[in-house]
Amino acid sequence: MELHQWCRHIIVFLLNVWIPSCFAQTTPPARSSPTPTPQTADNPDSLKFRLSGFPRKHNEGRIEVFYKGEWGTICDDDFSLANAHVLCRQLGFVSATGWTHSAKYGKGAGKIWLDNVQCSGSERSVSVCKSRGWGNSDCTHDEDAGVICKDERLPGFVDSNVIEVQVDENRVEEVRLRPVFTTATKRMPVTEGVVEVKNKDGWAQICDIGWTPKNTHVVCGMMGFPHEKKVNKNFYKQESKIKAITKTSSKPKRGKSAAAKRLYAERQKNFFLVHSVACLGTEVHLAACPLEFNYGNATESCPGGMPAVVSCVPGPLYTQSPTMKKKLKMPPTTRLKGGAKYGEGRVEVLKGSEWGTVCDDRWNLVSASVVCREMGFGSAKEALTGASMGKGLGPIHMNEVQCTGNERSLWSCRYKNITAEDCKHTEDASVRCNVPYMGYEKTVRILGGRTRYEGRVEVLHREADGTLRWGLICGEGWGTQEAMVLCRQLGLGYANHGLQETWYWDSSNVTDMVMSGVKCTGDEMSISQCQHHRTVNCQKAAARFAAGVICSETASDLVLNAPLVQQTTYIEDRPLHMLYCAAEEDCLSKSAASANWPYGHRRLLRFSSQIHNIGRADFRPKAGRHSWVWHACHGHYHSMDIFTHYDLMSANGTKVAEGHKASFCLEDTDCDEGVSKRYKCANFGEQGITVGCWDLYRHDIDCQWIDITDVKPGNYILQVVINPNYEVSESDFTNNAMKCNCKYDGHRIWVHNCHIGDAFSEEAEKKFEKYPGQLNNQIS
């Protein structure tokens, strides 16, 4: 008993010592700066921090610091996740999950207190991190940094430095268009309706007194539409009719239109939360516009007015009218590449006849919105930097783009021409645009997988009698392109695999096949837009043979080094006795079978292939190691049946010779600076190509050729296609082909103008196709 009492005293004593020390750690003590910065805060504990801006949640926003009696911001130059960790901890959160640049949460005001901040991540205060010193900055508020903190508070955090988040109950975060007429509610996308903002009590309206087309432009941009049009208020403003109805009866008289009844009912629900909206038209969110909130009795706070109503014009991808589709063509000078969804991707612009990228210096939401609207989408949700959508190829055409927001094209904005020292493709700018809501994700689902990214595909099918039921899709012919459409439709990124058997995902009682023969180009918005049998025709109709998918947020992207092909092409006459292995692997033309083996030779067009992975995920063979095929002749495993196609074509596109290359060995031959090799074939090693690495097939290895023994002199097109059967998912298949002009005189060959398939404009590509001509082509 005495021993027990003694132990209790010891435990109480230790707790009394330990607990205060733990709490004391949450408020960091002042310490001298280890950096050479001459200006540091006199007392780091006296600093105050807050999250500000729009639109945001409570744990994210523009970071502002209170120093020497004044609030100010931090510049995004040299900003990093380590900086964000330090700042989030000072705000009372456990860590950071991300950071933002280019004033994503709006521009601050007043001082820019810190610039070129460089923390290691372990500091207790941002004041002891390296920087240019307090108040020493060459930035503007266009470069205000923001942080996204993990929504978990530090245990025992004491608000001694007062986190002034300034969360107002009245703030505009979500905005929607509510269609009023019954017919409009069934159409997608919703292009016209009452503007409503969400608050703590639900959805509320905006008073239209003083409402301008510039306000409409901002709202339409948020809804995913590039333009607006004048709305016919007569359909909405039924003042006299409604007053007459309310005076004579509590219900509308017989004979009044259904629209009037509906409008009458809708009018009773009006709750005006916002008024006096005064947008400039360049804002990306309504919250960025000057506006005022109503207090008290908001139902009576719009005298002589009505709810704000807008009408938007959809871009070419979303318009229902065929006439408008022709009218609203996609811009010829801008495109988005590498994105998983419509309305996102790496920004590329056409200069002369060649596509190039945009450097991310000064890249912000205003410039990104110009791109988005030019592409037929709404305003920008995100202006992304650092090759977030993968690295581009070829030239970088623009740097330090500065738009006002009123431009119709990115080329109309101020920008600097690029020099070799200015930018690299690791700094390619990207965008995520607001796109119209189409509701496509409600018509498909995947079930049975280990995560939400995989499972058996089920589609919502309407029967002849109008009833809806979930049916399966027949797995026959289902592949990567079909899976890509399905994953995009569900908002799950790219497709890793399209599966033709899903017996291991049997998780529902759905057994009927309602679609078969599905064939997609890969560009469709929903699986229902793909070709398919009118009547289900599935040879393997059991549920175990239903289609399935594995989706992924990232994908690889393979491209060929076109200049290297041009530099390394030559002709070799190779003796037949040295080609037994090549014949076994079907790397010679058909006439080789009737040759007088081992005598004679074959004429081979040889060249090197250097294949880069510029995507955001490693390129891995579809087949697992257990199914790789051992080839004793060459002494290695083949992980893919066909990895590349090599074709020699006449001017009219007819193949005159062809070759193919199984992936002898997918491995990292070399990598960009700072990237480590991961794949090597030796000793049955893992095969693949790491992001930022390349696989080199030298001109002097077997099958790295086209057998042109039977080809007559003439002008031709040399074409190389990587991953021709779409066996492995990529973020962009349009850059998988490379073409060259070549001239063969029977003894020598000249190869020139080699380029990736989508590197030139359409007109330049047409000229390229016509270039060889028919006059000097001697093929009969």
**Of 377, 467, 470, 366, which is closest to residue 412 (Cα–Cα)?**
366
Q: Please give the backbone phi and psi of residue 439, each rounded to the nearest 5 degrees, phi first.
A: 75, 15
Q: Which residues contact 461 (CB under 8 A, 6 or more apart)?
A: 468, 469, 470, 471, 514, 515
The SS3 of residue 336 is strand
pLDDT of residue 578: 93
pTM above 0.85, yes or no: no
The SS3 of residue 612 is strand
Q: Residue 685: exposed, middle, or buried by beta-carbon count in 10 A (0-12, 13-18, 19+)?
A: middle
**Of 172, 218, 217, which is closest to residue 196 (Cα–Cα)?**
172
Would the pLDDT of 248 be above 50? no
Per the DSSP assignment, residues forming a β-bridge with 347 are 336
Would the pLDDT of 731 be above 70? yes
pLDDT of residue 74: 96
pLDDT of residue 169: 53
- The bridge status of strand 513-515 relative to strand 468-473 is parallel
Query: What does the pLDDT look like over 381-419, one tens digit per residue?
Result: 889 888 888 899 889 999 999 999 999 999 999 999 877
Would the pLDDT of 12 be above 50? no
Length of the chain: 780
Report the phi/psi class of residue 154: left, alpha or beta, with left for phi > 0 and alpha for psi in -120 to 50.
beta
Q: Which residue has the higher pLDDT, 700 or 767?
A: 700
Would the pLDDT of 512 be above 50? yes
Strands of 563-619, DSSP E = 570-575, 601-606, 609-613
Q: Packing angle between helix 213-222 and helix 365-374, nearest 10 degrees?
A: 80
Long-range contacts of 400-404 (CB under 8 A, 24+ apart): 400/359, 400/361, 400/362, 401/358, 401/362, 401/363, 401/367, 401/429, 402/362, 402/367, 403/366, 403/367, 403/369, 403/370, 404/282, 404/366
Would the pLDDT of 3 be above 80? no
Percent of the chain's residues with pLDDT above 70: 82
The 3-class secondary structure across 40-87, one letter per residue, is: CCCCHHHCEEEEECCCCCCCEEEEEEEECCEEEEEECCCCCHHHHHHH
How would residue 240 be classed by pLDDT, with cut points 50, 70 and 90? very low
pLDDT of residue 305: 87
Q: Which residue has the higher pLDDT, 43 or 201?
A: 201
pLDDT of residue 399: 93
Range name among 103-107, 282-286, 681-685, 768-772 with the lowest pLDDT average:
768-772
pLDDT of residue 311: 94
Query: What does the pLDDT look like over 255-307, one tens digit per residue?
Result: 445 554 454 444 446 788 888 899 999 999 898 899 888 876 555 678 888 99
User: Are residues 304 and 236 in contact, defined by beta-carbon separation less than 8 angstroms?
Assistant: no
Percent of the chain's residues with pLDDT above 90: 47
Q: Residue 325: exposed, middle, or buried by beta-carbon count in 10 A (0-12, 13-18, 19+)?
A: middle
Q: Packing angle between helix 258-267 and helix 239-248, nearest 10 degrees?
A: 80
How would residue 560 be classed by pLDDT, with cut points 50, 70 and 90? very high
Alpha-carbon span 41 to 35, nearest angstrom: 13
**Of 639, 669, 680, which is closest to residue 561 (Cα–Cα)?**
669
pLDDT of residue 157: 66
User: Are residues 103 and 52 in contact, defined by beta-carbon separation less than 8 angstroms?
Assistant: no
Query: What does the pLDDT look like over 316-367, one tens digit per residue?
Result: 989 877 666 666 666 689 999 999 999 999 999 999 889 999 999 889 999 9
Query: Chain-centre distance of CA 576, in angstroms?
Result: 50
What's the rounded mean pLDDT across residues 18-37?
35
Give me the torsion for CA of 82, 86, 88, 94, rounded to 10°: 90
How would residue 519 be classed by pLDDT, with cut points 50, 70 and 90? very high
Query: What DSSP state is assigned to residue 712?
Result: P
